[in-house]
Structure 1
Amino acid sequence: MSLGDLMAFAWRALRGHRLRTILTLLGMSIGVGAVVLLTALGEGARGYVTNEFMALGSNLLIVLPGKTETTGNAPILGGTIRPMTLEDCEAIQRRVPRVRRLAPLSVGSARVGYGERRREVTVLGSTPELLPVRHLEIAVGRFLPDVDLDRGAPVAVIGRTVQEELFGGDNPLGQPIRIGDWRFRVVGVMAAKGQSLGLNMDDVVIVPVTSSMRLFNQPSLFRILIEVGAHSEIDQARREVLGVLRERHEGEEDVTVLTQDSVLGAFDRILGALTLALAGIAAISLSVAGIGIMNVMLVSVSERTPEVGLLKALGAPPRQILKVFLIEAIMLSAAGGLLGLLIGYLGSSILSRAFPALPAHPPAWAVSAAVIVSLLAGGLFGVLPARRAARLDPVLALAGR
C-alpha cells in the first residue's frame, strides 16, 4: 500500500467513528490552543511593560526610598530609615551636573470636592518639571507655578476625568476645589493620557509637592524622577546621585536608584520565566491529549481486530499494519494541532482587540513548538496501539479474539 492508500484507509476509519474523532481532536486542539494563547498573553505582558517604560525615555533615573540591606523590605514599599527630602533634591540638582531635570513626587489619596460633588482621587505632589519628565500635556490653562521647593501654592491641575466628574461642562479654571480639608484653586486641566505605569493620569489631581506633603503629613518623598542629559551618561549620573545621597544620609546607601535598562531587564527576566511557565502548563494539556489519542487508538485496535486479521490473511506484513494505525494517530494529532492554532490565534486576536495596550501576539517559537509537540505526541502515543495491532495473530484476529 502506498502512503496515499494508507492515509485514505486511516481517513475512512476516522470517519467511521465521528463523535470519538471529534472529541479526540478537541483534546489536542485545546492543548495546542492553550500553548499559543498563554504564550501570547505572556509576550503581550512583556511588550506592555516595555512600551510603558520606553515611553518615559531611556535617560530617566527613578530614586526610591529604602533598600533591602537597610530596611529588610523590598524597595518598592518605600520604607527607609531616613526620609528622602526636598533638601536631597536640591543637593542633587546642585551637585550632579548631568541632571537635566528633576521632579520630586509625593503621592496620596484624598476626597476631592467641588460644590456638592465629591470624588476619591489620587493626588500627586510635584514641581513644574514633572510635565516634561513624564511627557504630559496641558489641554487648558497652565501647569504648576515655578516656585521654590519649600513653598506650596494652593493651586491644582486636574485630570480630564476629574474635570468631567466634578465640573461637567463648566469651565474649571479659577474655581476652588477642596482636597481633604484644604482649599485649592484650579489653574489647569491635563490632556487625556490614560493609563501610565498602572496609574490613570486622567483621574488625578496634581498640586505643588510641598502642599501634598503637608496635606498627607508625609516626611518622605515617594519618588524622585531625574532626567539625564544623554543616555550615555546614565550610569555615571546614577553613581553620582547615589554618592550625593549616601553623603547626606551619613554614609548609608538607603535609597535605590533604578534605570530604564535595569527595570526592563528585571521585568524581561520575570515575564520570560512566566511565559515559559505558562507554556509548560499548557504543554501538560498536550501530554494529556496524547494519552487520550493512545487510549482511543487502543480501543480502535480492539474494535478492528477482525479487520486486522483480514489484512494479515491477505498478506499485509506487520510493518504495514503498524503504519496504518500510526498514520491514523498522526492524522488525529495533526488535525487537532491545526484546529488548536486556529483557536489560539483567534483568542489572541480577541485579547488584542479587548485590550489594545496589550500586544498579545504568539511568538513564532511557541507556535512551532506546539505544532511539533502535537505531531510527536500523536506519533509517540500511537506507537503502542500500532505495535499491538501489528503483533496480532491473524487466526485469532479473524475470530475476533
Structure 2
Amino acid sequence: MRLADRLDYAQGALIRHRGRSALQLLAIAAAVCSVLLLTGLGEGARRYVAAEFAFLGKDLLVMLPGRKQTTGGLPPLGASLHDITLDDMAFLARQLPRVRLAPLVVGNSQIRLGSRSRHRPVLGTTPEFLQTHRLGLLAGQPLPKLPPAQASPVCLLGQQLARELFGEASPLGQWIRIDDRHFRVLGLFHSASSNLGWQLDDSLLIPVGSAQALYNTQALFRLFIQARDGQPLSPLAQRLEQLMRQRHQGSLDVTLLQPDALLATFGDIMTTLTLAVAGIGAISLLVAGVMLMNLSLISARQRTAEVGLLKALGAPARLILQLLLTEALLLAWLGGLLGLALGYGLVSLAGWLYPAFPLFIPPWAAVAALLCALGTGLLFAWLPAARAARLPAVASLRGRV
C-alpha cells in the first residue's frame, strides 16, 4: 500500500472516531504547549539577566568593599576592614592613568518641587559615571568636573523623575530640594537598561562630594573601573588587587567583579534551569503518551472486526501495524502542530502583556517538542497496534480480542 493510501486511511479513521481523536489531539497539544511555555520562561529569564548586565560593558570592573574568598556566586555582603574612599580612588588614578574611575555613593531622599514630593534614589558620582554606565544626556550639561571631594548644589535628573516633577515643562536651571538642601538642575539623562532592576531613569545624580555631605559618609558604595585602550581585564584586576592590598596595609578586603564572569555564572545557572523546566514539561508528554496508549487499546478492542476484515482481504500483520502506527503518527503530528501554535500564541500574548520580561522560545525547543510528540505517539501506540496486528483473522471478524 502506498504512503498516500495509508495517510488517507488514517485520516478517515480519525474522522470516524472524532471524539476519541479530539481527546488525544488535545492531550498532545497541551503537552507540547507546556514544554514550550516552560522552556520559554527559562530562556526568557536567561536573556533578561543578560540584558540587565548589558549596561556594564566588557571593559568594566566593579570594586566592592569586603572580600569573598570563593570564586563565583554573589557579591560579598559582610563588613570590610576598610572602606573604599575617594583617597583610594585618587591613589588608583595616580597608579593607573589609563583607566576611567567612577565612584558611587547611594542614598534615598525626599525630592520636592513645590507641592510635589517623591522618595527616590540619589546617586553621588562624577561625570565619568555617564560613560561607564552608558547614560545618554538628553538635555543640558553633565555634572561639572570638580575635585571629587568638593560639594556643589547641582544635579542631573532621570527622564522619568523629571516627568513626574515637572510634567512637560523644562527642568533645566530650576531648583529642587533634596531633603533639606537646594540643588539646581543641570541636565536630563536616560538609561537604556534597568540596571539589574535599578531604574536609573527614576533617580538623580549629584556630585559625589555633595552626596557624602548629604549622607554624612566618607565611604563609597561602589567604585567602577573602566579599562581604556583595549586593556585586558584580568591583568588589570590583579594589578588593582595589588594596589588595594598595598593601600590597606597588606589586607585585601575588596572584591572585584567582572560583569562577563558574573554573567557567565548566571548563564550557566539559567541554562540548567531552562533544561530542568523543559524536562518538567516533557513529563506532560509522558502523561499524554499514557493517555494515548489507553485510548489506543480501547480503539483496538472496538476495531477488531475492522482488523479482521483487512486480514480477510489479505492484508499482512505488518501492513496492519503500519496503518495503525500511521494513525498515531498523524495524530501526534497534528497535536504537535496545534501545541506549537498555542505555545507561540501564549508567549506572544505574555510578551505583549509583560514587555519588561518577554518570554522567548528557542528554536531547538520547538523542534525537540515536536520530535518528542512524534516519538511519544509512536512509542505508546506500538503496543496496542502490535496486539491488534497479531489477532487471528477469524477471531477479529467475530469481534473477539
Shared topology, TM-score over 0.5? yes
**How far apart, in 2, do the equivalents of 1:210 and 1:383 lie?**
76
Q: Give the drift of 1:55.
A: 4.3
1:80-104 Cα distance to aligned partner (Å, 9 max, x none): 34322222211211112331x1101
| Residue in 1 that maps onto 2:295 | 296
**8 Å contact kept, 2:135–2:191:** no
Q: Give the drift of 1:191.
A: 4.0
Q: Give the drift of 1:136.
A: 1.7
Q: Give the drift of 1:332.
A: 1.1
**How far apart, in 2, do the equivalents of 1:355 and 1:231 lie?**
38
**How far apart, in 2, do the equivalents of 1:219 and 1:292 lie?**
68
Q: Give the drift of 1:356.
A: 5.5
1:69 match: secondary structure: coil
1:253 match: secondary structure: coil
Q: Give the drift of 1:78.
A: 6.5
1:307 match: secondary structure: helix
Q: Which amino acid aligns with 2:123?
A: L
**How far apart, in 2, do the equivalents of 1:393 and 1:79 lie?**
82
Task: Pick closer, same or farther for the CA change 1:191–1:320 going to 2, 3 Å.
Answer: closer
Q: Give the drift of 1:386.
A: 0.8
The answer as to 2:49 corresponding to 1:16 is no
1:270-327 Cα distance to aligned partner (Å, 9 max, x none): 2211221222122112222222211221111122122223323333322222222211
| Residue in 1 that maps onto 2:92 | 92
Alignment of 1:1-400 (within 5 A): 1-69=1-69, 74-75=74-75, 77=77, 79-99=79-99, 101-191=100-190, 193=192, 195-218=194-217, 220-354=219-353, 360-400=359-399
Q: Which amino acid aligns with 1:220?
A: A
**How far apart, in 2, do the equivalents of 1:362 and 1:86 lie?**
47
Structure 1 gaps of 5+ residues are none
Task: Pick closer, same or farther for the CA change 1:32–1:79 going to 2, 3 Å.
Answer: farther
**8 Å contact kept, 1:59–1:230:** no
Q: Which amino acid aligns with 2:91?
A: A
Q: Which amino acid aligns with 2:242?
A: G
Q: Give the drift of 1:187.
A: 2.2
Aligned length: 398
Q: CA RMSD in A?
A: 2.5
Task: Pick closer, same or farther for the CA change 1:378–1:395 going to 2, 3 Å.
Answer: same
2:232 match: secondary structure: helix
Structure 2 gaps of 5+ residues are none
Task: Pick closer, same or farther for the CA change 1:133–1:31 going to 2, 3 Å.
Answer: same
**How far apart, in 2, do the equivalents of 1:272 and 1:76 lie?**
24
Question: How does the TM-score come out when normalised to structure 2?
Answer: 0.90
Task: Pick closer, same or farther for the CA change 1:54–1:308 going to 2, 3 Å.
Answer: same
**8 Å contact kept, 1:330–1:375:** yes
Q: Which amino acid aligns with 2:65?
A: P
**8 Å contact kept, 1:194–1:202:** no
Percent sequence identity over aligned pairs: 45
Moved more, 169-178 or 102-111: 169-178
2:150 match: secondary structure: coil
**8 Å contact kept, 2:157–2:204:** yes
Question: How does the TM-score come out when normalised to structure 1?
Answer: 0.90
Task: Pick closer, same or farther for the CA change 1:239–1:192 going to 2, 3 Å.
Answer: closer
1:269 match: secondary structure: helix
